[in-house]
């Protein structure tokens, strides 16, 4: 069955939280924080047979897009859903003439780093001991659009 992508609506927040809770590598937010981002940022969900199986969310700050969170439910991983979400976000950012999409990721998060690199993101710098519990460096990636 195909996976479809669409912009999230307020009723999607509980299933988004359910996916996020199954992803220790994702950022962890409250329902209110997702609600706010729906108003101020970009939230795209992946859905199969009416069930949300993944999402990506981004903030747009001074025209630059920053990925705040990305997760796919465990049963749907390694089937291209994460890649589809990134492609959709890139398409939207390019349509809005964004110069780049930026993100931070834990140094040890190999699956996410491989995914970003596969989709053209390049490692640009790092932030020492940026994360807590456990303390870890953040690697900063960017996908820069040539214009
Ligand atoms: C990272 C994540 C979103 C990837 O989603 P996904 O739907 O499985 O990704 P895809 O199927 O599109 O994978 C595309 C590529 O990413 C890389 N990748 C994905 N999972 C991987 C894994 N477990 N190990 C190594 N590489 C992996 C591979 O290069 C893969 O291509 P391939 O299958 O042809 O080898 C998913 O593992 C997840 O939800 N992780 C927990 C949350 C998280 O860490 N989010 C990132 C926050 S910055």
48-105 tens-digit pLDDT: 999 999 999 999 988 889 999 999 999 999 999 999 999 999 999 999 999 999 999 9
Closest CA to 19 of 63, 91, 73: 73
CA angle 67/69/75 to nearest 5° reads 130
Count: domains in the chain: 1
CA 118 to ligand 1 centroid distance, Å:
10
CATH of the domain at 8: 3.40.630.30
Q: Is the pTM of this model over 0.95?
A: yes
- CA 100 to chain CA mean position, Å: 14
pLDDT in tens, 106-139: 999 999 999 999 999 999 999 999 999 899 999 9
Is the CB of 139 inside a 6 Å radius of any atom of ligand 1? no
Q: Which domain holds residue 40?
A: 4-144
pLDDT in tens, 3-36: 999 999 999 999 999 999 999 889 899 999 999 9
| Contact status, residue 89 vs residue 70, Cβ threshold 8 Å | no
Annotated active-site residue 34? The verdict is no
Annotated active-site residue 31? The verdict is no
Helix axes 31-40, 13-21, angle to 10 degrees: 120
């Amino acid at each position: 069955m195909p996976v479809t992508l669409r912009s999230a609506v307020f009723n999607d927040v509980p299933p988004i939280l359910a996916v996020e809770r199954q992803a220790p590598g994702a950022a962890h937010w409250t329902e209110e924080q997702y609600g706010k981002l729906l108003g101020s940022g970009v939230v795209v969900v992946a859905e199969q047979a009416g069930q949300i199986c993944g999402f990506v969310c981004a903030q747009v700050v001074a025209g630059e897009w920053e990925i705040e969170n990305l997760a796919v439910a465990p049963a749907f991983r390694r089937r291209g859903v994460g890649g589809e979400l990134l492609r959709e976000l890139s398409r939207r950012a390019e349509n809005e003439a964004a110069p780049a999409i930026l993100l931070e990721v834990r140094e040890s998060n190999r699956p996410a780093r491989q995914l970003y690199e596969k989709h053209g993101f390049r490692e640009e710098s790092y932030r020492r001991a940026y994360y807590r519990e456990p303390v870890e460096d953040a690697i900063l990636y960017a996908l820069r659009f040539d214009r």
